[in-house]
Amino acid sequence: MSDPSIWESGHTRKDTLRYTAAGLLGLTAFDLFAASGAAATHGSELLVAAGKLAPWDSTRPKGPATGLPRRIAWANTAAAEFFLALTAGMKEASKRRNMDFVTAISGNDPAKNIEQMESFLARGVGTMMMQPLNLATQRPVMRRALDSGICVEGLITFPTTLQIAASQYKVGFTQGKAAADYAKRRLGGKAEVLYMNLDSLAPALVVRHKGVLAGLKTGGSGVKVVSDQGVDVSVETGFKVMSTVIQAKPNIKIVLGGDSAVLGAYQALDQAGKLSRDMYLSGVDGDRQALALVKRGGAYKASIAFAWKLMGYGLGQFGADWIEGKSIPRVMVAAPILLDSPAKVRKYESDSANPAATFASRARYEKYLPLLGNVSFANQKLYWKKEYVPA
């Protein structure tokens, strides 16, 4: 078993979020297409309603031998915490299935990413996982892989065999509604809100913004957004925004945004002596510092996380299944996980720390990552030609 990882950095967290916005954060299309047909046409596009895709049927019989190399590749783009968690999951699954696992990190360099993907194909792989970076150059490589019978796994992109999908509106609505529920339950239905949006980074995050505001509206007229500020992905910006806003709006009780910005707001409130236990601060990302604060109790009440290591483990297992001729899901839905208590954080951390045990229980695994559709090497021309948005 080899693992020739190429660890390349040269990126900022803002860069990482921008590029990820083209992937997991970037799911904004509302059409679902399935591809089938002759290899010469790469399949004909068929419109399918999102709700019509059936749950994955794991009982389908194994097909004939594929002849594919027992090697799984991951063309990573950034050494970000969540991508490295995905890497760890894929590596563990590959090892358990006696598959060679190879990965490389391009440091958000599109040319290097293509070079690495080409290198994987030249070496020989049965499954290749990728993250969108420059799709104009990536897609020709992906199509060549598909034409060779390779399983192409991708974060909210196409053409792919297995697509990871997410709804940014649902992420935002989950965050906003949880805050509204807290206001009704603990603040008498009245609360002033600061929301720090990431609209400038990607169109997909405008969709999240709309979801947050819709979720907050479920709290009634007493829950009011008194400041809606555009920020970048940094603790420093969150600190500056909160330090300024609290001067004009000293009665703010709810602060929402990404974990980095909200962590900065937490620090600003703490330093100003304005932090109180009845406040509700909530972020998105499942940042380790944020989860530590949720476990501690206090003003930082919640973080919405994605199960990155579990995702990677499933991608590794399904990549191995494909190579062995078994039927795999067409979609893995990255569900937003609301972690708003120490017990929920501990459960999330425990399940992520032992992905094999979590994956062994389909019901347990699909609380994090629902699985939809079926495809195998035997019907390899069935692949995604559009982005899928879960219902």
Residue 40 CA: distances (Å) to CA of 43, 149, 151:
8, 14, 18
* Average pLDDT of the segment spanning 57-83: 95
Q: Tens of pLDDT along 265-315?
A: 999 999 999 999 999 999 999 999 999 999 999 999 999 999 999 999 999
Strand partners, 45: 35
Predicted pLDDT at 48: 41
pLDDT higher than 60, residue 13: no
Q: Tens of pLDDT along 71-112?
A: 999 999 998 888 999 999 999 999 999 999 999 999 999 999
Cα 60 from chain centre: 28
* Average pLDDT of the segment spanning 145-159: 97
Identify the structural domains of the chain with CATH numbers, from first to last.
13-166+307-334+369-379 (3.40.50.2300), 168-305 (3.40.50.2300)
Q: Tens of pLDDT along 185-237?
A: 999 999 999 999 999 887 889 999 999 999 999 999 999 999 999 998 889 99
pLDDT higher than 90, residue 376: yes
**What is the distance between the alpha carbons of residues 9 and 23, in angstroms, rounded to a whole number?**
19
Confidence of residue 51 (pLDDT cuts 50, 70, 90): low
- What is the value of pTM for the model shown? 0.84
